[in-house]
Amino acid sequence: MESIYQPVADLILRRQPCVALTGAGISAESGIPTFRSKGGLWEKFDPTVYASIEAFRGDPSKYWSIRGEFIRNYDAYQPNPGHRALAELESMGLLRHVITQNIDGLHRKAGSRSVTEIHGSLREIFCIQCGKEYRAPNIPEGTPPRCECEGVLKPNTVLFGESLPIQALETAWREAGGCRVMLVIGTSAVVQPAASLPFIAKEHGAALVEVNLDKAFSNADYFLEGKAGTVLPELVSEMRKQS
């Protein structure tokens, strides 16, 4: 019997380059909660109060008070089979780049090398007063954590109301516009400008393959329903059979 993964495996083998766009869903199986799904963080906490740059400047303790609900200790989280499958595809020469909205660093931990983190990373935090950089797992005690100069520390991630790092954005646009297949994995596609990347890819003639529990892209050419940690390894094993 033909595997449901076979047409997508064929597509990726035939049409290169392939680029992936990932969202919170790919890290859900690593134990990191998504934001907008049912029971997600933004049902409990209003992001404009807890995760916007204006709110952070006004009262940073709000952000830091819920940070532990999301990722308490950066080093404690491990990549899952979904992240590892993408790293494997890259090493097979079949995935040129990963554009991720995630700030958890799990793609790199899984071994992906060509990664753009368009919303930054929790890996570093820095003092908003003197700019000194710290390593995220060594967050000083107290809320909000402070630098030795008493300035407040902020993670190197994009909060609501902040602009995206321009270089990362340019890479993302270039990769989206230059790919012939885009894998869109575990994103609800509501956060701009990330949500427009699949449209850019499509406009330039790429085929879209969505991997999600629920379909978010009506213009996807293929929809692989299920958990990223199950679907992606199945897809890679199908490609190994064919290549």
151/233 with CB nearer Zn ion? 151
Residue 97 catalytic?
A: no
Alpha-carbon 106 to chain mean position: 9
Nearest alpha carbon to residue 197 among 174, 230, 216, 231 = 174
Which residues between 111 and 150 bind ligand NAD (CB under 6 A)?
Answer: 119
214 binds, among ligand NAD, Zn ion, none (CB under 5 to 8 A by kind): ligand NAD
Tell me if 212 contacts ligand NAD by CB under 6 A: yes
DSSP secondary structure string for all residues of 86-129: HHHHHHTT---EEEE---S-HHHHHT--SEEETTEEEEEEEETT
Distance CA 173, CA 176 (A): 5
DSSP 136: G
Are 83 and 100 spatial neighbours (Cβ–Cβ below 8 Å)?
no
Contact with ligand NAD (CB under 6 A) among 104, 175, 234, 238: 104
Residue 76 makes contact with Zn ion by CB under 5 A: no
Q: Are strands 120-127 and 153-157 parallel, antiparallel or unpaired?
A: antiparallel
Give the nearer residue to Zn ion in terms of CB position, either 149 or 190: 149
Binding mask 103-142 for Zn ion (x = CB under 5 A): ------------------------x-xx-x----------
Beta carbon nearer to ligand NAD, 139 or 211: 211
Binding site for Zn ion (CB under 5 A): 127, 129-130, 132, 147, 149, 151
